[in-house]
Amino acid sequence: MSDVRYELELDVRSPDGFRSRAVVEFASGGGDTFLELHRAGSLAVTVDGQKITPGYDGRRVALAGLTAGRHTVVVDARLSYVTDGEGLHTFTDPVDGERYAGAYLGLDIAQRLFACFDQPDLKAPVTLTVHADPSWTVLANGRAASAEGSTFRFATTPPIPSSLVTVVAGPYHSMRWDYQGLPMGWYARRSLAGPLDRDAAELRRVTEVCFDHYARIFDEPFPFDAYDQVFVPDLNWGAMENPGCVTYAEFLLPRGRVTDDDRRRRAMVIAHEMSHMWFGNLVTPVWWEDAWLNESFADYMGFEVAETVAGFPGVRVAFEAAFKPEAQVADLRGSTHPVAPSSADVPDVDTGTTIFDRISYGKGNAVLRQLVTWLGEPDFLAGVNAHLTRHRFANATLADLLSALDAASPRDVRGWAEVWLRQAGHDTIRVERRGDVPVLVRDGIRPHRCTVTAFRPDGVAAGSRLVDLAGEPVELPEWAGLAVLPNAHGETFARIAPDPHSLGVLSRHLTTIPDPLVRAVLWAALLDLDLLAAHLPAEPSPTLITAALDRILNNVVRRTLSPADVPAALDLIAGACATYDGPDDQRALALARGLVWSTRDTALLRRWLEADAIDRGVTLDPDLRWAAVHRLAELGAFDAAEIEAERLRDGTVEGELGAASALAARPSASAKAAAWAAMTSDPDISVTRFRALAAGLWSLSHRELAAPYLPAYLAAAPSLARRGSAFAAAVGRAFPTFPLTDGELDLVRDALRGDVPTVLRRFWLDELDDRTA
């Protein structure tokens, strides 16, 4: 198959289903093939002008006996909307009753929107017409060509993969402008007009700064004819890089306060998604084993550009404290894989789904940063630009990229890739002593270039330098008697094992070290409950406070403690969060977010709700308010009527979800039974509602009520997971969040001996690894 073209016509005017008409042109070598189309309610097919009745099994439209040459197939079908974020998703806003529709695709989901060859190596130009409510805004990959009544037409795109086709339709509030000859826009639901207007100037500035930067460093010009960015409801990913029309999850447009951390994260995501216009959209992997060619590059670019270009210092601090440690945890599991796995390791799309994970993102990001440090940025960009130009609007593999980098650099890039990209696992950099002289030793197989910083006994830095560490130890005689920290600026991906002297100095003076990036590396390397209790109240960075609390909750309290030890751990965390009385409101809010899930002080939480502020007078944002309601319900101090009053007070979809979660969190058998019934009885339950109910069902504070649902969950989950990959991931993430006994872990092992879908199996295996490490 080759030279594919699509002419699509979608009619989304009815809320009960939509019409999808696809004219598919392609060249064939002859023989049998098929188009993919998911569960069409009605179907009419013509091949080269002749109506046929094809074989159709609900997934594939058979095209038998084609002659060699060019063909035109027309597939006219009636399809269903979805509520799980995989297909043409429909959403009704509870604030104003307005309806929105959006195509959220990816991997093999395009077939839920139109008949297609649903694979990344058959890129095609797309010409789109949409019939929609004439009062709506309708956006797609191509530039808007015309809008006449209810008919919206879009310009033909360059060749793009089917997984990245999109259409977004609804009564969107917008900010539009032209920049460098390109129409641009930001959009949000009408009920989120206030937050969009509030942040409009910053969103525009970040977009333009990122655009200018990529125009400077990439030889290939921006590949598409428009650049719209849309906050859409119920997106399963943080964002999706659809060419010319990027979609973002709405948590990136907070209804309440926007903290510095919120702004940094959003800038990083904007830079990440824009870089995809080159990495993934201009040049696309042949198959999903090379997903890292999209995600690792975009993740590296996102953090790098937000930190150094877009004006958000501290983005790398978040990466070192939160994202990289989670990637190291993932790299220790049985499910780990090379950053660049072989095609044999990714035999199908379900397996491909599982590698969009912390290895492809966090580890891949860190490995690319090490590559840039090792090669130097000029050679790195020279190789990348040669690769992008050579394969523009086509597909490419790891071998193609390595050829370009090898040609641009005198270093052995292929040898580097073999140990860094083709092999799973990571090294440990240890500090040893020869007398008083610190010595760096590598346990592993990879070359490392990273910054080493020395510290005096009082914790003051005594100097830094870049070090190359490979098979031979590296002595640091100029720092005899001093503490040293390898990888102090996070240039490489390795575990850090300080010697006892360095560990003592660094642990004692953790929060007085002025460089937050160095503190991020230390928090990541040293964190445990004792360190948290000793240093969290004095940590100056809200970013590091949040990262430490999240990791303690998810990796320690929920997974590694015994059930009997959880109450004491929560009390210790609450004590650490409650002691700050300084002037920094963002620091106080970061600690309040930890206090709200760990405290047993119901009077404090009620006081917050009554004042709509924490005790120092900082107003509660909607997320923090619902967290307080959830904790009060969990502690048995907030009843159904009070939860309903909060839901009515909020009035948004976030309020609906917060109320569902709080009701499920109440410490009663009837509340747990109602939550479980709601999770399993509605075949169309949304991913977001399912997650909210699960968060309430599995309460840390009353596992005796929730633990009896573990067998039911293990029995029902495989069937629920067959709804689709996004829902399978939601079911996997709905695994009990409290510590399990050995007998309960055995139940999980028994369940895994059955027929468990690939995506769900990955989540369960990871849970077992994390809880038995």
What are the pLDDT digits (tens) for 11-35?
Answer: 999 999 999 999 999 999 999 999 9
Strands (E), 29-68: 31-36, 42-47, 50-52, 60-66
- The DSSP code sequence of 611-624 is HTB-TTSPBPPHHH
Cα-Cα-Cα-Cα torsion 709, 712, 718, 722, nearest 10 degrees, comes to -80
Which residues, listed in sequence order, are joined to residue 26 by a DSSP beta bridge? 71
Q: What is the mean pLDDT of residues 379-408?
A: 97
Q: What is the mean pLDDT of residues 232-244?
A: 97
pLDDT at 494 > cutoff 90: yes
Angle at 651 between CA 648 and CA 656, to 5 degrees: 85
Angle at 168 between CA 167 and CA 170, to 5 degrees: 140
Neighbours of 512 (CB within 10 A): 13
Q: Which residues are catalytic?
A: 273
Mark out the alpha helices in 243-393 (DSSP H runs): 260-275, 292-308, 315-318, 324-331, 349-354, 364-375, 377-390
Q: What is the mean pLDDT of residues 416-429?
A: 97
**Taking Cα atoms as reference points, which of 394, 388, 327 lies closest to residue 363?**
327
- The DSSP code sequence of 77-97 is EEE--BSSSSEEEEEE-TTT-
**Taking Cα atoms as reference points, which of 570, 568, 588 lies closest to residue 579?**
588
pLDDT score, position 363:
98
pLDDT score, position 351:
95
Q: What is the pLDDT confidence band of residue 721, given thresholds at 50, 70 and 90?
A: very high
Burial of 477 (0-12, 13-18, 19+ CB in 10 A): exposed
Query: Whole-angstrom Cα distance, residue 537 to residue 675?
Result: 36
Q: What is the mean pLDDT of residues 219-229?
A: 98
Q: What is the mean pLDDT of residues 699-713?
A: 95
- Residue 317 amino acid letter: V
Residues 6+ apart with CB under 8 A from 383: 375, 401, 404, 405, 406, 407, 408, 409, 413
Helices 364-375 and 413-420: crossing angle in degrees, nearest 10, is: 160
Q: What is the pLDDT confidence band of residue 616, given thresholds at 50, 70 and 90?
A: confident
pLDDT tens for each residue of 176-215: 999 999 999 999 999 999 999 999 999 999 999 999 999 9
Query: Whole-angstrom Cα distance, residue 588 to residue 616?
Result: 8
Query: Whole-angstrom Cα distance, residue 495 to residue 513?
Result: 20
pLDDT score, position 773:
75
Residue 342 phi/psi, 5° resolution? Answer: -80, 165
Query: Whole-angstrom Cα distance, residue 741 to residue 432?
Result: 38
Structural contact between residues 56 and 80, judged by C-beta atoms closer than 8 angstroms: no
Helices 260-275 and 542-551: crossing angle in degrees, nearest 10, is: 80
The model's pTM is 0.97
Give how far Cα 632 sits from Cα of 549, 608, 609, 627, 701, Å: 20, 11, 10, 9, 11
Residues 6+ apart with CB under 8 A from 708: none
pLDDT tens for each residue of 748-759: 999 999 999 999
Query: Whole-angstrom Cα distance, residue 620 to residue 492?
Result: 39
Burial of 5 (0-12, 13-18, 19+ CB in 10 A): middle
Structural contact between residues 540 and 587, judged by C-beta atoms closer than 8 angstroms: yes
Query: Whole-angstrom Cα distance, residue 82 to residue 684?
Result: 8
- Residue 156 amino acid letter: T
pLDDT at 582 > cutoff 90: no
pLDDT score, position 172:
98
pLDDT score, position 581:
85
Write the DSSP symbol of residue 157: P
**Taking Cα atoms as reference points, which of 135, 143, 109, 114 lies closest to residue 23?**
114
Query: Whole-angstrom Cα distance, residue 276 to residue 272?
Result: 7
Q: How far apart are the first and last CA of the chain?
A: 48
Structural contact between residues 596 and 624, judged by C-beta atoms closer than 8 angstroms: yes
Query: Whole-angstrom Cα distance, residue 102 to residue 91?
Result: 9
pLDDT score, position 405:
97
